[in-house]
Amino acid sequence: MLARVLGVAEAGLANGIEVGIGDDAAVLQGTTRRLVWTIDEQVEGTHFRRDLASWRSIGWRSTMAAASDLAAMGAKPWCALAALVLPDDVDDHALEAIAHGQRDAASAIHASVVGGNLSRGPTLSIATTWLGTCERAVTRSGARPGDGVWMAGALGLAAAGLRALETGRGLDARFADAIRAWREPRALIAEGLAMAGIANAAVDVSDGLASDAAHVAEASQAQIVLFEAALAEDPALATVAAWLDATPLDLALHGGEDYAIVATSPSPIPGFRRIGEVRPGEGLRIEGPLGGRALEPRGFDHFAPR
């Protein structure tokens, strides 16, 4: 069944992939490059609701969310496996659409889904594991005082899109970009590769900037300082925030599922803009025109009451 649904086209069986879907396991050629390997899971009710996203979007989002971990390590995606748990009310048509979204997402980052596993269970979930390759992986622990903090991608837009959907404004054209950011996120693979030779540390912003930047500070035993002006400057975000009665800064710091990349580096990174700096010390601070303050690393609760 999965073989038919997720089935790799014969064209997919290139790129070092010797055996794809349909056997006990996938078989890949060896490589002298480093392997970067991650697993991520999206669960209905926690990460998505089927009334807010199409089946295709559910497949796409789960695949991209997992691939974003590769981007943050500076790795090139190679291939993915997925394990789906399907309740009885997810029919073949829905499964086909989910798999379509998975294939399209993998294909958009020049990689492929090579296998998987189907189980029955009461809650719909999609676990995705990605293998990527790199010469040198960028971890969370390499930030050094004196580094700039650099970011690629948009912050807060996906959270705004989700909030628009939750409040019944899915058809409101003003939120189209924000809703697209939530329904069809992109892992910033090219940006991650651009960063790989330059950055000292990096993380992807999946749980909110405040939460994810704090991980870098902790792993690197350094202080991360964010510049308020740099975070709130996105005019698109300012506009949707106003429509949602939110502040751009709150969306930028505590929104989630952006899949932006935050990196630290002593020199500029092509495609990244500067949003802060690394100092001796610990924890996270934000500095603005009214002074600075410590920032709690509060994460993103996908469907928490707001």
What is the rounded distance in angstroms from the CA atom of residue 164 to the CA atom of residue 271? 29
Residue choice 4, 9, 31, 268 for contact with a copy of itself (CB under 8 A): 31
Render the burial of 128-138: b for 16+ CB within 10 Å, e for the rest.
bbbbbbbeebb
Residue choice 1, 11, 29, 289 for contact with a copy of itself (CB under 8 A): 29
Q: How far is the CB of 245 from a copy of itself (least distance, A)?
A: 27
Span of 54-62, 89-97, 102-110, 123-131 interacting with a copy of itself by CB under 8 A:
123-131
What is the rounded distance in angstroms from the CA atom of residue 148 to the CA atom of residue 128? 32
Residue choice 147, 184, 191, 204 for contact with a copy of itself (CB under 8 A): 204
Instruction: Name the residue type at position 229.
Output: A
Q: Return the DSSP state at 181.
A: H
The token pair that represents 176 in the structure block: 């189209």
Render the burial of 212-222: b for 16+ CB within 10 Å, e for the rest.
bbbbbbbebeb
Span of 29-37, 48-56, 162-170, 250-258 interacting with a copy of itself by CB under 8 A:
29-37
Q: How far is the CB of 3 from a copy of itself (least distance, A)?
A: 10
Q: How far is the CB of 1 from a copy of itself (least distance, A)?
A: 12
Residue choice 1, 10, 11, 32 for contact with a copy of itself (CB under 8 A): 32
Q: Is 102 in the site for a copy of itself (CB under 8 A)?
A: no
Q: How far is the CB of 166 from a copy of itself (least distance, A)?
A: 18
Render the burial of 74-108: b for 16+ CB within 10 Å, e for the rest.
bbbbbbbbbbbbbeeebeeebbbbbbbbbbebbeb
What does the binding site for a copy of itself look like in residue numbers (CB under 8 A)? 18-19, 22-47, 69-70, 72-73, 75, 81-83, 85, 115-117, 119-123, 125, 127, 129-134, 137, 139-141, 203-204, 219
